[in-house]
Amino acid sequence: MKKGNGKDSFNNDTYKILDNYFQIQFQAWKELAEMQMDFNQKCVSACMQQLSIPNYAKDLFTVDSGMTQEYYRNLSENTRQVMEKLFKVECELLECFKNSGDLYKDMPLLMPAVTGQEKPAKQTESISAQA
């Protein structure tokens, strides 16, 4: 990676790592949506089965607890795996910034709020100094 001056220190390695990070996030959201759709379909099927029973008096929206537990178990495991992958990529990304020579010049490109938070504090200090 080139020695840092903000945007110039970004090179293909950084972009590859960022691309990998966003691909992992995209895949995680896709898997989550698929899990949710599958769970919803199972709930609809369970309700339809209950409707087909003559004189069924229970609440239609009661969901099989085993099915719900399985869904949340899978969701928890999926989330854990995704978080581990993202953590590894974040470590790679931080290593790139560390090697760039100037972490703080590069960080605002990814987190503009960091620079936005610093400016009001400086303005407040200068206002209180003038008073």
What pLDDT shows up at residue 36?
A: 87
What whole-number distance in Å separates Cα of residue 111 and Cα of residue 109? 6
Per-residue model confidence as pLDDT tens digits over 70-123: 888 888 888 888 888 888 888 887 777 776 655 555 555 555 554 455 444 545
Structure tokens at 39: 């769970």
Per-residue model confidence as pLDDT tens digits over 42-61: 888 877 777 777 776 666 56
Residue 16 clears pLDDT 70, i.e. is over it:
yes
Structure tokens at 2: 């080139």
